[in-house]
Structure 1
């Protein structure tokens, strides 16, 4: 077999392993959404506390991604990639056997810790395996389809497992996949060069605790109101810790978030957009899953299948995006993608207690197309020109902002939902969900403004 053919085959297998890992991690972010009503009934979880089943994973994942990214730079990205998946797999097994809500939340948090050390290796390993330009953009397109499509696939798979078996299988399903990745990665994925250094533990601690405090305060507000003492204390502590984090990163010899990653205005705007867009996307998944099950009365399986058009739109957009990027450029593509997402969210906000299913499926397809174009464009912007020794940190920061944005967005929109649905019954629930989904568009509009403002500044 010619050398070039063997190299292409090897890089293809490595990409398949990396994509499978990313797909599993992203699936886990939404697969539990379909199972939430069953979890709540069996483990006696209050509706106002259900978001913690999602946030326990997102907070640990997003809060530790920066440390996970830098750990990969120092210790080896494949090593941390494999160790993180091993921990994630063990936590999934524990979560499947959860006898109580506390056990389940602890397992979800432990899953997030494992994911935080595995996920930065995905984009960093692609950056080290594929040359910048066309080859890397195509690989990023495949990975982006897995990243964004994983959320939709998680809802479909969650519906199948919950209806056909039990909600516990949304946890157990990760075990065989994780074991396969742990076995195959050392054989097919090349280890990266290590860059000796020390861990910025203070930075990791302040960022994680700061975001946890902030999100706790927002969730507390949704049930206790803006005058609640614990909520106000959480806001204050979160702001102080995040300010301390920025100060620490500016002085640390080897920070987990090198501030040079944000030196360029277009780079900084892409990172900010990676905070804002998932704030809309993850919240949409959360509320629309409850709309389809609790308002429309669909089974978990049918609810999952309702997200299939979204996955199809993502696959189409991720396939087309590399060619369109080469023709139109990153910023126009990113802005166009976010505009399409905004239209889809506004469309979805028109759902009602007696609406037709077409009013969900059509905007879901449009949403998938917009998200595919958006994420490929933003990822290409963030990873372009990054030094090899910073690729893990850049990947970690990008994914930390995605997960943190999703958690913050969900917490904020829970307050919108609570304010719009003070009553009981499906009509009140539909009204609250409609208001919350409509409010998600504010995040994508802000991302468009930030992206275009950065480009205008460069032109000036």
Structure 2
């Protein structure tokens, strides 16, 4: 079904607005947690689940959401997901207890898991011209990244002015308007008639859910806790079984041949690693600015505006670079910039002035903006339209898991370093020696009531541990940049036969069908994972 030209702008606006809302909700709630704790009498564990309940359901059901869209129609599943997300937002705003709020957040996660894969695959079908699609996906990706970036900026002032429920009420009018507009302008596409991969869906949901749950509980309970180990074992077994089932299924929800294409594998790795490093940084930066440097939530949010501005600038730039040169240049550049930013951030401590490290925020924002768009464009160019939902869900699942794993891994590095550093410090400062065993669970918030010398020791130890975590994140991103550069390296130009010119070289990372020959663009025809071609190694 061909979408009228006058509707394309409305389709893009609808998808961008709803994705902005879903991404914003990932981070905006963080600024409301202190008020939630006070009014709902939530402990630390309850507040953690207010944040992570969303991620748990979202990551566990993204692949299922993509498959349901392919099977029953992407428009229908998108509208269902948007309705559930809007209802979950209203329920969260009306919650009178921590348990009710967590349940509402999980409903939001279910809605986001259904609407996210459909959003990108609908763009793939509506914008059929290659250049037009690249611009649309670039804008969509930029708006999605912008939602993550402006969450802290908006959250503080909203909570200060209207209370914690306002961070959920803000989604309701956007969701209702999106539903009304989407019902009018979004086209429907032919659903696939093959059977659902029920074993794969069950195993993926259970495996991803157990993995995310273990990563959430690991830092709090300890990595040797019985429950954490049991969940990790369940995750390992079920995800291994999931891979076996998908390899043998005639109609898998995750086609493993997707990763045989080096370009797709490089794009997926980029999405995972950028979330690994930058979600970890986004988690630690508020702790550094608010609890150590003494900034207010609103001031700390406004301080992130340079990062937001660079994401806005970089998104169209990376889209143009991808269209002209392929994904290798923007992806490797973006990962390298983010690695540089994280490493540079580890050079600043308690007494650093904002003007000294604002360039670091600009660098990280530019790196994030350079990475988000090429990943989306690459996946949509190289995947069969019939599998667009699966590909989009795979990409977003890896991104979400990358963020959760990044926070857990870098948090574990920080916690371990903090524990070892503080083991003897309180005793040397005249405080009870057993205090050191409790500091990691209270730093930095709980350190405010300590004597000044102990407080200074705690702040110094926290900064030292934070620097180590940031350097680990920087090293991981630098390694990913090198690996992506190798995966996306251009193919060697074949030696022409004697007396012949040989085939023209192709742009790196681009399907053969999109290359220009003899000055004329050939029709766009995506490369499918089901039938790897020579373009798969480009």
- How far apart are residue 48 of structure 1 and its match? 5.8
Distance change in 2, residues 1:68/1:452 (3 Å): same
TM normalised by structure 1 equals 0.93
Give the Cα–Cα distance (whole angstroms) in 1 for the partners of residues 344 and 44 of structure 2.
26
Mean alpha-carbon deviation: is it higher for 203-212 or for 13-22?
203-212
TM normalised by structure 2 equals 0.80
| Structure 2 counterpart of 1:130 | 127
Give the Cα–Cα distance (whole angstroms) in 1 for the partners of residues 320 and 214 of structure 2.
43
1:40 equivalent among 37, 41, 52: 37
Larger Rg: 1 or 2?
2
Mean alpha-carbon deviation: is it higher for 114-123 or for 343-352?
343-352
Mean alpha-carbon deviation: is it higher for 41-50 or for 151-160?
41-50
Give the Cα–Cα distance (whole angstroms) in 1 for the partners of residues 324 and 388 of structure 2.
26
Kept in 2: contact 1:274–1:401 (CA 8 A): yes
1:267-315 per-position Cα deviation (integer Å, ceiling 9, x unaligned): 1222122222211122221221232222233222222212211111011
- How far apart are residue 328 of structure 1 and its match? 3.0
- How far apart are residue 360 of structure 1 and its match? 4.6
Give the Cα–Cα distance (whole angstroms) in 2 for the partners of residues 45 and 439 of structure 1.
32
Match of 2:188, SS state, is: coil
Give the Cα–Cα distance (whole angstroms) in 2 for the partners of residues 381 and 345 of structure 1.
26
- How far apart are residue 136 of structure 1 and its match? 1.2
1:331-353 per-position Cα deviation (integer Å, ceiling 9, x unaligned): 12210111011111112233422
Kept in 1: contact 2:270–2:371 (CA 8 A): no
Which structure would you say has the larger RCO, counting Cα contacts within 8 Å and 6 or more residues apart? 1
1:142 equivalent among 139, 142, 160: 139
Give the Cα–Cα distance (whole angstroms) in 2 for the partners of residues 362 and 237 of structure 1.
43
Give the Cα–Cα distance (whole angstroms) in 2 for the partners of residues 398 and 247 of structure 1.
20
| Structure 2 counterpart of 1:153 | 150
- How far apart are residue 359 of structure 1 and its match? 4.2
Give the Cα–Cα distance (whole angstroms) in 1 for the partners of residues 82 and 462 of structure 2.
38
Mean alpha-carbon deviation: is it higher for 81-90 or for 211-220?
211-220
| Structure 2 counterpart of 1:79 | 76
Kept in 2: contact 1:310–1:365 (CA 8 A): yes
2:232 equivalent to 1:238 = no
Give the Cα–Cα distance (whole angstroms) in 2 for the partners of residues 261 and 93 of structure 1.
38
Kept in 1: contact 2:59–2:209 (CA 8 A): no
1:191 equivalent among 188, 193, 210: 188
1:29 equivalent among 10, 26, 29: 26
Mean alpha-carbon deviation: is it higher for 266-275 or for 76-85?
266-275
- How far apart are residue 49 of structure 1 and its match? 5.8
Question: Runs of 5+ in structure 2 lacking a partner?
Answer: 420-438, 448-457, 493-536
2:483 equivalent among 426, 445, 450: 450
| Structure 2 counterpart of 1:92 | 89
Tell me the number of residue pairs that the alignment of Structure 1 and Structure 2 aligns: 456
1:95-114 per-position Cα deviation (integer Å, ceiling 9, x unaligned): 11222222222211111100
Give the Cα–Cα distance (whole angstroms) in 1 for the partners of residues 475 and 106 of structure 2.
29
Match of 2:349, SS state, is: coil
Select the structure that is richer in helix.
1
Give the Cα–Cα distance (whole angstroms) in 1 for the partners of residues 106 and 251 of structure 2.
27
- How far apart are residue 251 of structure 1 and its match? 2.0
- How far apart are residue 138 of structure 1 and its match? 0.7
| Structure 2 counterpart of 1:247 | 244
| Structure 2 counterpart of 1:164 | 161
CA RMSD across the alignment? 2.2
Distance change in 2, residues 1:245/1:457 (3 Å): farther
| Structure 2 counterpart of 1:206 | 203
Match of 2:196, SS state, is: coil
1:440 equivalent among 467, 473, 479: 473
Mean alpha-carbon deviation: is it higher for 165-174 or for 193-202?
193-202
Kept in 2: contact 1:249–1:258 (CA 8 A): yes
Give the Cα–Cα distance (whole angstroms) in 2 for the partners of residues 343 and 403 of structure 1.
22
